[in-house]
Amino acid sequence: MHALALALLLLALSPFLWLVLMSFKTNAEIFRFPPRLLFDATLANYAALWTSEFRNSFANSLVVSVVSTALSLLIGVPAAYALSRWTTRAGGTVTLWILASRMAPPIAFTIPYFLVYRHLELLDTWTGLIIIYLTFNLSLVIWMMRPFYDQLPRSLEEAAWIDGATMWQGFHRIILPLSGPGLAATAILCFLFAWNDFFFALILTRTEAMTAPVAVVNFMNYEGWEWGRIAAGGTMIMLPVLVFSFVVRRYLVHGLTGGALKG
């Protein structure tokens, strides 16, 4: 059974392993046929990334992903809590409308966003990208977090209120700590959306705010592709997601399933 699991794991991970191995090869080694598993590894591709514009793009990706994730949680989590506790029929309608930003494919928003951004001089800026990711992530945060709060008994915060806590204190001190797994799962999904986005970054950036996924494509030159750098760039792009997932892995599984069934 373990052997089967291991085999499946290897099968699932083989494309990633291939990419990582490729990042340590020279172009000549990459195109060697048949390919060799043992070869003289080189860090030249990573060194080349460090001296190219990729370094700035990587930093851009980190900044816009972290900031947009933090802002989405900061705004979305209280909103989800408020909508959970709002018992009128309008609450459901509002929640549904919040999903509107996810109801059309991103390409449908492209030209309007591009024109507005050009007018507001937000093209090729961190702010521009953060606003876009915030817009799309807010609905995700609200829709993921609301079931968590629906699950938590109201009596908890009512007890806090009786003890003299304000509504904000009740939320901050009682409810928020209880929704840790949900927050972790939501944060990672928000981060992934912003981190992996190619389309909006392609359209709304040029050079200054260009993110890592777009920068990797720039290694596909007209007269030839820089395979080693593409692989090294791809590996670098995977790295923060792996680290982030590793850090919050304890909460992740519970967070994704929690709230699926209401008490």
Residues 24-43 that bind other proteins (CB under 8 A): 27-28, 31-33
Closest contact distance (angstroms) between CB of 217 and other proteins is 5
Binding residues for other proteins, total number by CB under 8 A: 26
Query: Contacting other proteins (CB under 8 A), which of 202, 238, 241, 256?
Result: 202
Query: Contacting other proteins (CB under 8 A), which of 111, 242, 243, 253?
Result: 111
User: Do residues 200 and 190 lie in contact, with contact meaning Cβ atoms separated by under 8 Å?
Assistant: no
Tokens coding 221:
């030159």
Closest contact distance (angstroms) between CB of 103 and other proteins is 23
234 CB neighbour count, 10 Å cutoff: 19
Instruction: Give residue 42's region: left, alpha or beta (phi > 0; psi -120 to 50).
Output: beta
Question: To which residue do tokens 């892995």 refer?
Answer: 249
Closest contact distance (angstroms) between CB of 177 and other proteins is 44
Ordered alpha helix ranges (H), 88-221: 89-98, 107-120, 126-151, 154-162, 167-169, 176-178, 180-196, 199-204, 212-217
**The one segment of 10-18, 84-92, 183-191, 217-225 that binds other proteins by CB under 8 A:** 217-225
Tell me the C-alpha distance between 255 and 178, whole Å.
11
**The one segment of 42-50, 84-92, 211-219, 251-259 that binds other proteins by CB under 8 A:** 211-219
Residues that bind other proteins (CB under 8 A): 27-28, 31-33, 110-111, 114-115, 118, 123, 202-203, 206-207, 214, 217-225, 227
